[in-house]
Amino acid sequence: MITLDMVYLVVGLMFAAFAALSAVDQDNPRWLGNALFWGLLAVSLLFGSHMGDHGNGFLVVALVVIGGFRLLGVGKPHTTTPEERREGARRHGAWLFVPALVIPLVAVGGTLLQDHTGVGAALIADRQTTVIALGLGCVIALVGAMAWLRPPVLAPLQEGRRLMDSIGWAALLPQMLASLGAVFLFAKVGDVVGQVTAAAIPMDTRFLAVAAYCVGMALFTVIMGNAFAAFPVMTAAIGLPFVILKFGGDPAAVCAIGMLAGFCGTLMTPMAANFNVVPANLLELPDRNAPLNGVIRAQIPTAVPLLAANVLLMYFLAF
């Protein structure tokens, strides 16, 4: 049976390979910082469950120090040449997207198989099923792409390292902010937010409760930079006590649509650096250092109507 620990093992070995390749990359003047950063992340994934709270805490602090003091650089891996990539793109055309499409298909299919068939239940564990299926999809897509395209053996690792080096410390923002959301939940920040919201907005109708929850998810995501960080706070503040308990909303629908409302906030904030700031820097947009760079400005006209649509979806589908 495929479990979440196996996914952690594969991802941990991947980051360990990134660290090893960074350590021998003499073209990167900051090779040591890259090797330490990706190596510590590999240690977290491979041995984090055995390190205890203090060990993991010190590891996170070390990651923050490396990223905060700008000790990371961008490596120059030796893989295929630009000419080879252009020739491959010309030869294969749109079929190059097939491996990328395999990943979501396996993720959705694996989840459905685990839920509804005996074969799937025997193959995939029933905890964190979607994450496991997603990891399985990545492995299947990689094996298929290697067999089809026949790149150099180290090309996936070198190209993966190049991508992670380009993103840098921002690649860890989702995990860090999700952890911050858990800390806020433990500190009962949601209770305080709920009291303030209830005092400002009379939760006497279903629509007001739904709108407050969805808009609150988006706004808190704008502040936090990540919907996973906003979710435990806003669900404890509004979603659970009002939308679900008071008005009888279906928990699955409320939570799923609430997350989508939070993602609308992700589209509108520079705090979501891994989504908005990093692409602007990689594309070298002229206004990437402005408070609202071109990526965010282009996304706002989509985010606002989508947020309104999520309010209506929850109002009509969650009850």
- Asked if pLDDT for residue 61 goes beyond 70, the answer is yes
**What are the Cα distances from residue 105, in Å, to 2, 13, 115, 116, 123?**
17, 24, 15, 16, 17
Mean pLDDT throughout 163-180? 83
The total number of structural domains in the chain stands at: 2
Q: What are the tens digits of pLDDT across the range 65-74?
A: 999 898 999 8
Same domain, 165 and 306: no
Same domain, 16 and 145: yes
Same domain, 312 and 198: yes
Same domain, 145 and 193: no
High-pLDDT (> 90) share of the chain, %: 62
Same domain, 211 and 250: yes
Structure-token pair, residue 184 = 């806020």
What's the confidence (pLDDT) of residue 291?
Answer: 62
Which residue, 169, 204, 219, sits at the end of a domain? 169
**∠ Cα 313 305 301 (to 5°):** 155
- Asked if pLDDT for residue 14 goes beyond 90, the answer is yes
82 Cβ contact partners less than 8 Å away, ≥ 6 residues apart: none
From its phi and psi, is residue 284 left (phi > 0), alpha (psi between -120 and 50) or beta?
left
Handedness of CA 178, 184, 187, 188 (dihedral sign): negative
Same domain, 157 and 67: yes
Whether residue 180 lies inside any domain: the answer is: no
Same domain, 41 and 137: yes
Whether residue 181 lies inside any domain: the answer is: no
Which residue, 169, 204, 235, sits at the end of a domain? 169
- Asked if pLDDT for residue 255 goes beyond 90, the answer is yes
The range of the structural domain enclosing residue 248 comes to: 188-317
Same domain, 113 and 215: no
Whether residue 174 lies inside any domain: the answer is: no
Whether residue 182 lies inside any domain: the answer is: no
Q: What are the tens digits of pLDDT across the range 197-213?
A: 878 888 889 999 999 99
* Dist. CA 124–CA 132, nearest whole Å: 7
Same domain, 193 and 163: no
What's the confidence (pLDDT) of residue 292?
Answer: 66
Whether residue 55 lies inside any domain: the answer is: yes
Closest alpha carbon to 46 in 88, 66, 17: 17
Q: Which of 109-113, 153-157, 169-173, 277-281 has the lowest mean pLDDT?
A: 277-281
- Asked if pLDDT for residue 277 goes beyond 80, the answer is no
Whether residue 178 lies inside any domain: the answer is: no
Number of neighbouring beta carbons within 10 Å of residue 16: 17
Whether residue 183 lies inside any domain: the answer is: no
Q: What are the tens digits of pLDDT across the range 25-50?
A: 988 999 999 999 999 999 999 999 99
Same domain, 132 and 270: no
Could you tell me which residue, 88 or 294, shows the higher pLDDT?
A: 88
What's the confidence (pLDDT) of residue 211?
Answer: 95
pTM: 0.80
Same domain, 128 and 20: yes
Which residue, 169, 198, 226, sits at the end of a domain? 169
Same domain, 74 and 140: yes
Q: Are 201 and 314 in contact (CB under 8 A)?
A: no
What's the confidence (pLDDT) of residue 136?
Answer: 95
* Dist. CA 155–CA 146, nearest whole Å: 9
What's the confidence (pLDDT) of residue 289?
Answer: 62
Whether residue 154 lies inside any domain: the answer is: yes
